[in-house]
Structure 1
């Protein structure tokens, strides 16, 4: 389990590793508030991303919360909240 915060760079890396990236979409830009669908990532890709985050960071993300995290900012906040909870336990 990691004790560091989950960052945008972590998310970008996991998105590229798990789902790849569309050549027409620049995920290196300011994407924090862009919708995942706008970035070319659909629900299946996000579920794969969630699974990769769970394995790497030793947390469990429930599917409804993962689906509700429609932007990178929301997903990063969700992961960091779970990381904080796991450290407090």
Structure 2
């Protein structure tokens, strides 16, 4: 089971992806994060339930210069994530 996040607001051009990646690595999560063409940020994460909850809580704030309006969280079985690996992907 993986968790998909869609983060909406002022989340591009403010270091959101790099900060998300640092948080995910610190929490030992697997997955990826990327910008979306619509101005949102998208992430797929997998790991210990408490670590997943911590990054969801962090994603609602983001880095200091971000202004998060909404975080849509959904669980999925469709993700294929490499354990121990977290990537920043190109914009989709």
- Structure (1/2) with the larger helix percentage: 1
TM-score, L = length of structure 1: 0.36
Higher strand share: 2
